[in-house]
Amino acid sequence: MYGFLFTVIVFLISVFSIYSKDYNYTDFSYWWGGDSYNRYNFNYVRNISTSFFGGGGYEYYEDKKNKGNTIKLNAGFISKNYVFSIKPFYFLKESGVYAFGAKGGVDIITGNQELTRNLILNLGTVQKRGRIENSDFLGEMQIEFNFDDHLFLSARSSYNFKPKKIITPFDYSSFWGYNYLGTINDTFYSDIGFGYGRSFKPDFNSYLYFSFDRINTSGDDINSYLIGLKTYLDDDEKYFIDLDYNYADFKKNDNEKHYRLIMGVIF
């Protein structure tokens, strides 16, 4: 409850600063599903100079088994064809376990107006401490193709180079980039995924997208299917709403359905 109130308050403060001359981005999202699952997520990023940006975020989740609070930072450098970023985080102590770490990498942008290619390479570490001492070291690669801002294709994969079979309240979903909206408290091993999206411009300023991810953990294997619709509410694309539906097919456990609503402002 306190996590929800905090994220709403910070989101409203960010919106009220809309008349700032600087570039600012903020979003608030609510995730929900079965087993009393709720997640509240807030992000804020602004430009520090013409080449540097910085920001942060806060996330709270709860379900029948676990709950957790995560504080996140985001900083980076932008050049013509490269975006370098680092994203440290701290997971507050819960059930005798806390965690910290960071994900950093580069987004390499090539192509022209008709076809743009993005190659994203990331490395990350998760350090779990308290009643459990464990370290994860992960790598991630994603490639995206943008065809004239109307058709979008992507493929991604990631791998944990130092897995150890444990269960903690720490949720990998708040740290890693797969398209699964539930929680993963077992040790994350690997995933591979594909995505497709298309724009409805000029008739509607909306984007429809689909994704599939195969996620392997120490507790189960997941086939995750996600469909979403992102709609801009104005011609300048400063306000948007994003609604997602996620169906997760588990190999061992019961299947799950999750939903996510994102509200964003660029100012």
Q: Is 176 a residue whose pLDDT tops 80? A: yes
What is the pLDDT averaged over residues 66-71? Answer: 95
Q: Is 15 a residue whose pLDDT tops 60? A: no
Second CATH level (architecture) for the domain 2-266: Beta Barrel (2.40)
pLDDT for position 19: 44
Q: How many CB atoms lie within 10 A of CB 148?
A: 11
What is the pLDDT averaged over residues 43-63? Answer: 93
The angle subtended at Cα 218 by Cα 66 and Cα 186, nearest 5°, is 15
Q: Is 79 a residue whose pLDDT tops 80? A: yes
pLDDT for position 173: 85
pLDDT for position 10: 55
Q: How many CB atoms lie within 10 A of CB 64?
A: 9
Q: Which region holds residue 237: left if phi is over 0, alpha if psi is between -120 and 50, else beta?
A: left
Q: Is 21 a residue whose pLDDT tops 80? A: no
Q: Is 16 a residue whose pLDDT tops 60? A: no
Share of the chain above pLDDT 70, in %: 92
Peptide bond into 202 cis (omega under 30): yes
Q: Residue 235 has what DSSP assignment?
A: T
Domain ranges, ordered by start, for the chain: 2-266
| pTM for this predicted structure | 0.88
Average pLDDT over the chain reads 90
What is the pLDDT averaged over residues 126-146? Answer: 95
What is the pLDDT averaged over residues 213-241? Answer: 95
pLDDT for position 210: 97
pLDDT for position 175: 80
For 197-213, how does the pLDDT look when each residue is reduced to its tens digit (9 = 90+)?
A: 999 988 889 999 999 99
127, 164 Cβ separation under 8 angstroms: no
Cross-strand pairs, 232: 240
The whole-angstrom separation of Cα 163 and Cα 194 is: 24
For 143-159, how does the pLDDT look when each residue is reduced to its tens digit (9 = 90+)?
A: 999 999 899 999 999 99
pLDDT for position 14: 52
Peptide bond into 169 cis (omega under 30): no
What is the pLDDT averaged over residues 8-24? Answer: 55
Q: Is 18 a residue whose pLDDT tops 80? A: no
Q: Is 12 a residue whose pLDDT tops 80? A: no
For residue 158, what is the enclosing H or E element? strand 151-160
Q: Is 20 a residue whose pLDDT tops 50? A: no
Q: Is 181 helix (H, G, I), strand (E, B) or coil?
A: coil
